[in-house]
Amino acid sequence: MTEKICIHCFVAGKVQGVWFRASTQEQAEKLGLTGFARNLPDGRVEVIACGEKDKVAKLYEWLKEGPELARVTDLSYEELPWQTYRGFETL
């Protein structure tokens, strides 16, 4: 059985107004992950992603760069207890 995890990430840099949330949703859906991405008032993007550990790791690696127009300057994460979401949403 594959281990399932959730991670809670904060992405900083030029990450709002560059299709970051929509691109994150697209990547997460390709990987079969659930959770959400949303803009924060301080300019960061918050991401919660849940699924198979190796697929969550792939999304985390993608978040280090983000979509073409993004410029990620900082990425932090913590592992969370398993949570159930219906799909992956942008909020």
Tens-binned pLDDT, residue by residue, of the chain (91 aa): 679 999 999 999 999 999 999 999 999 999 999 999 999 999 999 999 999 999 999 999 999 999 999 999 999 999 999 999 999 999 9
Domain assignments of the chain as residue spans, ordered by start: 4-82
User: What are the catalytic residues?
Assistant: 21, 39
pLDDT of residue 4: 94
Task: Say which residues have a Cβ less than 8 Å from residue 9's Cβ, sequence separation at least 6.
Answer: 46, 47, 48, 49, 60, 63, 75, 76, 77
CATH architecture assigned to 4-82: 2-Layer Sandwich (3.30)
